[in-house]
Structure 1
Amino acid sequence: MKQPVNHAPARFWPLVGFATLAGMRSQSAPAFLTHLLTHQPNPNLARSPLRFMQKPLVATGFKLLAAGEIVTDKLPAAPNRTAPPVLLGRLLSGALVGATWYKSRHGSAWGGAALGGAVAVAATFASFALRMGVSRAAGLPVALVGVGEDALVLAGGAALLRAQKPPQGRAL
């Protein structure tokens, strides 16, 4: 008798990665996930309201938003990431990638949204504390430390994409 496949680790850990990116740079997580899904479409999303996350135009839009966020994050007028409207955006970004990821991996979109939102909020506060702490300890401008954070987000997102196994043997 064939044993059922446990999809939980394949859902959980990548979701934590995507949601952490959402907490650091809100648009980076959907940019990376839509990139993955346009190259590796998932049949579990085909009839889902989340199917738009597999559209090339959506992926391009999120990539443009992510690039804009990287630039505007360094501006003196940029709001604090823990300010309620900004924090809400990060929570929603984490929820979107969480719902999409869990749904694509045979899980509950609602459960993925809840977990993704929670991880994104936690990552928002953790990355903010880290950024401010490094800035203070090293005597560096916060914006310069933000460039390092950008590099970490880009490297982390790229590593997360490389770690995903393509369905039916397709390469990314």
Structure 2
Amino acid sequence: MMTAAGMGAMAGMRALSAPTFLSQHLAEEGASAKASPVEQFLASSTTARVLPVLALGELVLDKLPGMPSRLVPPVLLMRLASGALVGAAVARQKERSVLGFAVVGAVAALASSCALYAVREFATRKLRIPNIIAGFIEDALVASAGHRLTSAMG
């Protein structure tokens, strides 16, 4: 369950990063014979090549002025969906309740979206850390979490 929560939290920080790390892991490990269509999609070599490019685009866009807040409903909904997706995929890998893990992933995405929004606002407004630096710090957290979580998946 901790892996689903961690992946969900990553989705709350960067919506495409969690599916990207999971896709890379599944592509390397190969999809099981009982893999769901979502797992097969994530495990495909095409998805494993395309998602990192899209995730990189998200990292760049995050630093641009005028980008909408992560708490704007359409953006937040995308993060929640991403958290639910990775939570469900982790559940299938662990042979656990897909619905339960999807909810854990979505709730973790919501919590991290709200928490990181507050932290980033504090860092940029009160501590006067430039937004681009705060964004790079968040990117580093996502990358570290992604590597650790996928390594723990075995």
Per the normalisation by structure 2, the TM-score is: 0.93
What's the CA shift for 1:138? Answer: 2.2
Alignment pair present for 1:103 and 2:103: no
Which ranges of structure 2 fall in alignment gaps of 5 or more residues?
none
Aligned partner (choices 147, 151, 154) of residue 162 of structure 1: 151
Alpha carbons of 1:45 and 1:26: their partners in 2 closer, same or farther (altered >3 Å)?
farther
Matches of 1:60 and 1:81, distance apart in 2 = 25
Cross-structure match for 2:62? 73
Cross-structure match for 2:7? 18
What's the CA shift for 1:143? Answer: 2.5
What's the CA shift for 1:158? Answer: 1.3
Identity %: 40
* Deviation readout 1:73-118 (Å, 9 max, x if unpaired): 0111211000000000000000110111101210122222222111
2:68 aligns to what SS in structure 1? coil
Matches of 1:127 and 1:133, distance apart in 2 = 10
Alpha carbons of 1:45 and 1:104: their partners in 2 closer, same or farther (altered >3 Å)?
farther
Q: Which has the higher contact order (CA 8 A, sep 6+)?
A: 2
Greater C-alpha Rg: 1
For 1:96-135, what aligned pairs fall within 5 Å after superposition?
Answer: 96-135=85-124
Matches of 1:161 and 1:128, distance apart in 2 = 25
Aligned partner (choices 54, 62, 71) of residue 43 of structure 2: 54
What's the CA shift for 1:65? Answer: 1.1
Matches of 1:159 and 1:112, distance apart in 2 = 19
Q: Is the 8 A contact 1:93 1:117 kept in 2?
A: yes
- The one-letter code of the counterpart of 1:17 is G
Which runs of at least 4 in structure 1 moved beyond 3 Å after TM superposition?
Answer: none
Which ranges of structure 1 fall in alignment gaps of 5 or more residues?
1-11, 166-172
* Deviation readout 1:39-61 (Å, 9 max, x if unpaired): 11242653x22221111111222
1:103 aligns to what SS in structure 2? helix
1:77 aligns to what SS in structure 2? coil
Matches of 1:69 and 1:154, distance apart in 2 = 13
Matches of 2:70 and 2:48, distance apart in 1 = 23
